[in-house]
Amino acid sequence: ENREAMLNSKSNKLTEALEHANKLFGKVCRAQEAALDARFLVLASNIGKEKANELHSEMSAFDSTAFAEDLLTFMGINRTEVEETDDSEDVPGGFLPSDAWQTVGGEALKYFRRAPTFHYMMGSFKSEPPVPKQRIERQKKASRGKAERAMPAQLKKMEESHQEATEKEVERILRILQTHFENDPNTPISFFDFVIDPNSFAHTVENMFHVSFLIRDGLAKIKLDEDELPIIEPTKPSGRGEEESRAGARNQVVISLDQKEWK
């Protein structure tokens, strides 16, 4: 507060304030008050510094207003015309042309040892080629690319958490089985048709592995049909009671299948 009053070079207010603070400090008995005193000293010294600065500038005889006027002249101001601005504030002194700052700027460049900013003459070169290349490649290899991307992604998932992946697979297989049955109820699917993957033996084994979970959990059942070939069908979502009674009818089946048979 009273900053302006203190700054006035003719006033002694700063000295008075310092003397007053000194007296008060004698009465200080708590740390809080001492901190306040320290704060006051910082403020006082800043004001003191400013006062000293003002003293200096008064002696330097640099008239910034006149300098500003000369700058405007340099920029090509037209003092006979009054500038029309969007807001209705009065702009005294004339019309400043739009290239005013370019005029100063052009002169200013001579006084700086400024490294010219580096720009590619033909526009930025680096970022363009990769983009069209990617697009072309994508168009050609659309389907192939997707499959490739899908497989590594799947593999990654398996590495991350074996358990989760298995569960997901089991769920997926259950869903396939259920969908199939929705479309064609009362026609159980041949077990072998269901699990065998004509392209991959390993995948076949995997499928059997997942199906075994379904059986274990009672979500699907395998029966033997007339030809003594196993068929698989999803269990109906009946109540808990029925499931418990079925639990006794579980059997264990060992299926062996090697690559020769598979083929």
* Footprint of other proteins (CB under 8 A): 39, 42-43, 46, 50, 53, 56-57, 60-62, 64-72, 74, 91, 96, 98, 100-119
Contact 97, 75 (CB under 8 A): yes
CB of 94 to other proteins, least distance (A): 10
Taking CA atoms, 262 is separated from 80, 212, 232, in Å, by: 102, 18, 18
By C-beta, is 64 or 183 nearer to other proteins? 64
Question: In whole angstroms, what is the distance from residue 89 CA to residue 213 CA?
Answer: 83
**Least distance from other proteins to the Cβ atom of residue 27, Å:** 23
CA 65, CA 69: separation in Å to the nearest integer?
6
**206, 168 in Cβ contact below 8 A?**
no
Nearer to other proteins, 130 or 241 (CB): 130
| In the complex, least distance from residue 49 CB atom to other proteins, rounded to whole angstroms | 9
For the CB of residue 12, give the shortest distance to other proteins in the complex, in Å: 22
Measured from the CB atom, the residue of 89 and 227 that comes closer to other proteins is: 89
What are the φ/ψ torsions at residue 227 (nearest 5 degrees)? -90, 10
Amino acid found at 167: E
Q: Which is nearer to other proteins, 9 or 143 (CB)?
A: 9
Dist CA 108 CA 101 (whole Å)? 10
Whichever of 32 and 64 has its CB closer to other proteins, that residue is 64
Q: How far is the CB of 31 from other proteins (least distance, A)?
A: 19
Q: What's the rounded Cα separation, in Å, for the pair 45 and 50? A: 9
